Chain A
């Protein structure tokens, strides 16, 4: 069965600095998708970034980028120029066709931004 592991329950970063959140996963599939979701105090779940496993190029969305290491089954999120609005829970998730594209979630990392 596929699993997603986020080993950092909480991270903190100074405003304007860079922070990296870690995520590892386990799967026997070769074609799958990986995601980072953000959940701020409003509790809205927001898709931050998406990576397709067959694409070697790391996905980037403005200040958010990933380091996707397929062989190591690692999918870390880098947030550059951290802003107060980045404070949230960040969840790593996996999906694939063999599980009907249902999301398999990590436990989440709470990101604290220090002003």
Chain B
């Protein structure tokens, strides 16, 4: 049982580059979310989805896009990377109030 799989684990981007962080879950969870965690801080919600085809913005959505074409996958796109987007990114999935299962994170550095 893989749970939530995030790729890549580490990434270095140059300012202005774009990339997609991948997230896949194999638990048939409806709810999926993307968070960022800056050093010494808690998690901040970027975007979330309540099912295939349905997404919504979280607390810090600017500079990021998401789509949910299948139940399993929820990729996060950085449109034009900025140093302020240097962070650790977590994907998570849940079945309603059962509690979220988190991926192991992607450490992104933008230079």
- Among B42, B43, B58, B97, contact of A101 (Cβ-Cβ < 8 Å): B97
Number of chain A interface residues as a range: 20 to 34
Contact flags A67-84 to B (C-beta < 8 A → 1, else 0): 000000000000000000
Chain A residues contacting B90 (CB-CB under 8 Å) are 45
Whether B42 lies near A35 (C-beta < 8 A) is no
Whether A44 lies near B98 (C-beta < 8 A) is no
A43 to B10, CA, bound (A): 13
Chain A residues contacting B58 (CB-CB under 8 Å) are 102
Contact flags A83-115 to B (C-beta < 8 A → 1, else 0): 000000001000111001111011110000000
Question: What is the chain A residue whose CB lies nearest that of B54?
Answer: A100
Whether B104 lies near A103 (C-beta < 8 A) is no
Question: Which label, helix, strand, loop or mixed, suits the secondary structure of the A interface?
Answer: loop
**How far, in Å, is A9 (CB) from chain B's closest CB?**
11
Please tell me if B105 contacts chain A, counting CB pairs below 8 Å.
yes
Interface size of B in residues (CB-CB distance below 8 Å): 23
- Among A45, A97, A106, contact of B96 (Cβ-Cβ < 8 Å): A97
A32 to B96, CA, bound (A): 10
Whether B105 lies near A44 (C-beta < 8 A) is yes
- Among A44, A52, A102, contact of B102 (Cβ-Cβ < 8 Å): A44
Please tell me if B53 contacts chain A, counting CB pairs below 8 Å.
no
A97 to B37, CA, bound (A): 24
Please tell me if B71 contacts chain A, counting CB pairs below 8 Å.
no
Chain A residues contacting B94 (CB-CB under 8 Å) are 101
Please tell me if A33 contacts chain B, counting CB pairs below 8 Å.
yes
Question: What is the chain B residue whose CB lies nearest that of A47?
Answer: B99
Chain A residues contacting B43 (CB-CB under 8 Å) are 45, 91, 103, 105
Whether A35 lies near B99 (C-beta < 8 A) is yes
- Among B33, B37, B42, contact of A102 (Cβ-Cβ < 8 Å): B33
Whether A33 lies near B42 (C-beta < 8 A) is no
